[in-house]
Amino acid sequence: MPAPTGEVRSVGERHGMFGVKGSGDTSGYGGLVSAKVFPAPSAKPYGPSTDSGGTGWFDEVAGALEARLEATELTTAIESVVVHRGEITFHVRREDLPFVAQMLRDDDALRFEFCSGVSGVHYPDDTGRELHAVYHFTSMTHNRRIRVEVSAPDSDPHVPSLVSIYPTLDWHERETWDMFGIVFDGHPALTRVLMPDDWPGHPQRKDYPLGGIPVEYKGGSIPPPDQRRSYN
């Protein structure tokens, strides 16, 4: 059952500031233990309330999406809806992402003409959904902003590219591949954009070491965090 808006669900514990394993945590918070939590799915009405007593535009957008998906028999495309800190996120099945994005752009009731970017997130404890791609959409027609999130497992890190629908995502998808290893199927040229082409690994994943990675610039190297400076 959906949780009331604002509730969270626990997915494990974080030890230290960054959850570091295998190398030193020099943040000064090595003994910190905190819960890892995700916002829980929300129940209707989503709000926010309007001055006239209605349920607000969150419900208008969700209703328009649901109506269009029902008409095309894609009722399972939206896995959940999360309202957290005054923002709404639609969690969408990755295989249905291109259809949902096209609908967000073209449907008169939605008209999210602009996608400002996609970013990656790595949740090692979210078993079977370790990699997340997060999209930010803006409707200039209706002055609204929403978030769309899709997930993929580490073992199959593939998400459909949206470059053909939102060309602004070209370099954003390349950066997300570069930093997190999410493969955007159908991208016209999915190559690294920050790291050298032959760089091993994806530096913003949680399983990537914090230091000690050899670099190819002037024969230098990056020492592990606990060897960089003294805090005594």
The kind and range of the H/E element at 104 are helix 97-106
> What's this model's pTM, rounded to 2 decimal places?
0.82
Separation of alpha carbons 206 and 124, rounded Å = 7
Separation of alpha carbons 207 and 224, rounded Å = 15
Q: What is the pLDDT of residue 74?
A: 86
Q: What is the pLDDT of residue 1?
A: 44
Sequence-distant (≥ 6) Cβ neighbours of residue 17 within 8 angstroms: 25, 27, 28, 29, 30, 32
What is the block-wise mean pLDDT of the chain (232 residues), using blocks of 10 residues?
60 73 66 84 77 69 93 90 92 97 96 97 90 97 96 97 97 97 96 88 85 57 62 50
Q: Which two tokens stand for residue 165?
A: 């629908």
137 DSSP assignment: E
Q: What is the pLDDT of residue 173?
A: 98
Every domain of the chain and the residues it spans: 56-194
Sequence-distant (≥ 6) Cβ neighbours of residue 123 within 8 angstroms: 11, 129, 130, 131, 132, 206
- Within 13 Å and on the Cβ side, how many CA atoms surround 163? 14
Q: What is the pLDDT of residue 47?
A: 77
| CATH numeric code, 56-194 | 3.30.460.80
- Alpha carbon distances (Å) from 165 to 52, 103, 162: 36, 10, 5
Q: What is the pLDDT of residue 53?
A: 47
